[in-house]
Amino acid sequence: MSKVLVIGCGGVASVAISKCCQVSDVFTELCIASRTKTKCDALAAKLAPTTRTKITTAQVDADDVQQLCDLINSYKPDLVMNIALPYQDLTIMDACLACGVNYMDTANYEPENTDDLAWRAIYEKRCKEAGFSAYFDYSWQWAYKKKFEDAGLTALLGCGFDPGVTQAYCAYAAKHEFDSIDTIDILDCNGGDHGYAFATNFNPEINLREVSAPGSYMENGKWVEIPPMSIKREYNFDQVGQKDMYLLHHEEIESLGKNLPDVKRIRFFMTFGQSYLDHMRCLEDVGMLSTTPINYNGQEIVPIQFLKALLPDPASLGPRTKGKTNIGCIFTGKKDGKDKTYYIYNVCDHQECYREVGSQAISYTTGVPAMCGALMMLTGEWTKPGVYTVEEFNPDPFLDALDKYGLPRSENHDPVLVD
């Protein structure tokens, strides 16, 4: 019996909301609030005949703490699910603290304007001290830990698939499969084909910024940074086949490095096709990935936002995308004094996702874990005051929920390793 406020009504939020509506005994009341209320109304109208969950909608600008507080105080939710953009993480956390409500999200904070001088000064200091240069990192949200502890509230960070399920896989491996883990390789493979020469599977701004940044991995507790896309491997993925994959910086490496400090190396690889990479390099070379506004015919334009307007809406890829995703973690380490390897992963079919909730697998594999994370918080499995990432909670009930609600795990105790 709980009331949940969901902020955002894009690709990921639509799946999370659809899945919440399949668990009406827990998600008894849901308010969908976003910048564009018509999208919330359309989703509410679609879901209402299929669910016992009582759905309402609201308009909110989540950059504005006062607007958020007014909405939270009038709706009085037990939990706020932030499934808007990483730009809104801090304002929504501030509002949750002010109103005494638990918080969760699917991606860590990054600023919308990376030219902001105050932000840049802190960022540049962090680059030097920590040794990685991604625009996003956990420091901003970890800084809220004491405030959430003092308020007796829980904040769950990054509960999508990666970050999210990948860390639950790590916690599961540490709990059940190993006495000590030496290496973790997180492999994110999208074997889907949408038929366009170039499109991104989720928010283009967030996606392109992530992919065009330098890669990095953690070795013996230190970051090693490499030029973008400079480490390439091939891997034969179960139910997808042979794919090229590239080492990327990814946010869960940072929290895993902190919470599993004995692991000697943590890397993240994502698959990309040649056409995607060629387009991205070209767009970057001509300045279309820039976040710095330019003046065009008297109007201020942010190049990457203009590009977003030209590209297909990720939500529209659902009916066109065929194939499967395969995301998981390969571990090496020791059990009972013997060397051991282990691979835990999920395979998800784009077309099956579309048939069930009207979205492709990228939104599905993020939205289902968001619902399952909320389920953990609302049913008392994951509640401790403070700010936490997924690997800091018991993975067992979460992985059981994922098995049940659409993202079942597969295991391999003798996987091919990545060199």
Site residues, ligand NDP (CB under 6 A)? 8-13, 34-36, 39, 60-63, 83-86, 88, 106-107, 158, 160-164, 202-203, 206, 314, 366
Nearest residue (CB) to ligand NDP, 85 versus 218:
85
Q: How far apart are CA 348 and CA 361, in angstroms?
A: 6
Q: Which residue is nearest to ligand NDP (CB)?
A: 10
**Measuring CA to CA, which residue among 210, 203, 270 is closest to residue 11?**
203
Tokens of 414: 């003798």
Shortest separation between residue 88's beta carbon and ligand NDP, angstroms:
5
Name the pairing type of β-strands 299-301 and 294-296.
antiparallel
**Measuring CA to CA, which residue among 330, 26, 52, 398 is closest to residue 189?**
330
Shortest separation between residue 335's beta carbon and ligand NDP, angstroms:
29
Tokens of 71: 């909405």
Shortest separation between residue 1's beta carbon and ligand NDP, angstroms:
27
Shortest separation between residue 158's beta carbon and ligand NDP, angstroms:
6
Shortest separation between residue 89's beta carbon and ligand NDP, angstroms:
8
- Cβ contacts of residue 160 below 8 Å, gap of 6+? 12, 106, 107, 365, 366, 367, 369, 370
Task: Please state the three-class secondary structure of 366-404 as a single string.
Answer: HHHHHHHHHHHHHCCCCCCCEEEEHHHCCHHHHHHHHHH
Nearest residue (CB) to ligand NDP, 88 versus 346:
88
Q: How far apart are CA 372 and CA 378, in angstroms?
A: 10
Q: How far apart are CA 301 and CA 319, in angstroms?
A: 31
Shortest separation between residue 205's beta carbon and ligand NDP, angstroms:
8
Rounded to 10 degrees, the C-alpha dihedral 167/171/174/175 comes to: -160
Nearest residue (CB) to ligand NDP, 65 versus 127:
65
**CB-based burial, 130-140: b 16+ in 10 Å, e otherwise:** eebbbebbbeb
Q: How far apart are CA 170 and CA 165, in angstroms?
A: 9
Nearest residue (CB) to ligand NDP, 169 versus 178:
169
Nearest residue (CB) to ligand NDP, 33 versus 240:
33
Shortest separation between residue 16's beta carbon and ligand NDP, angstroms:
9
Tokens of 409: 């795990």
Nearest residue (CB) to ligand NDP, 30 versus 206:
206
Nearest residue (CB) to ligand NDP, 11 versus 333:
11
Nearest residue (CB) to ligand NDP, 224 versus 307:
307
Shortest separation between residue 346's beta carbon and ligand NDP, angstroms:
12
**Measuring CA to CA, which residue among 10, 63, 51, 49 is closest to residue 32?**
10
ω into 293 cis (within 30 of 0): no
Q: Is 129 helix (H, G, I), strand (E, B) or coil?
A: helix
Shortest separation between residue 317's beta carbon and ligand NDP, angstroms:
11
Nearest residue (CB) to ligand NDP, 18 versus 332:
18
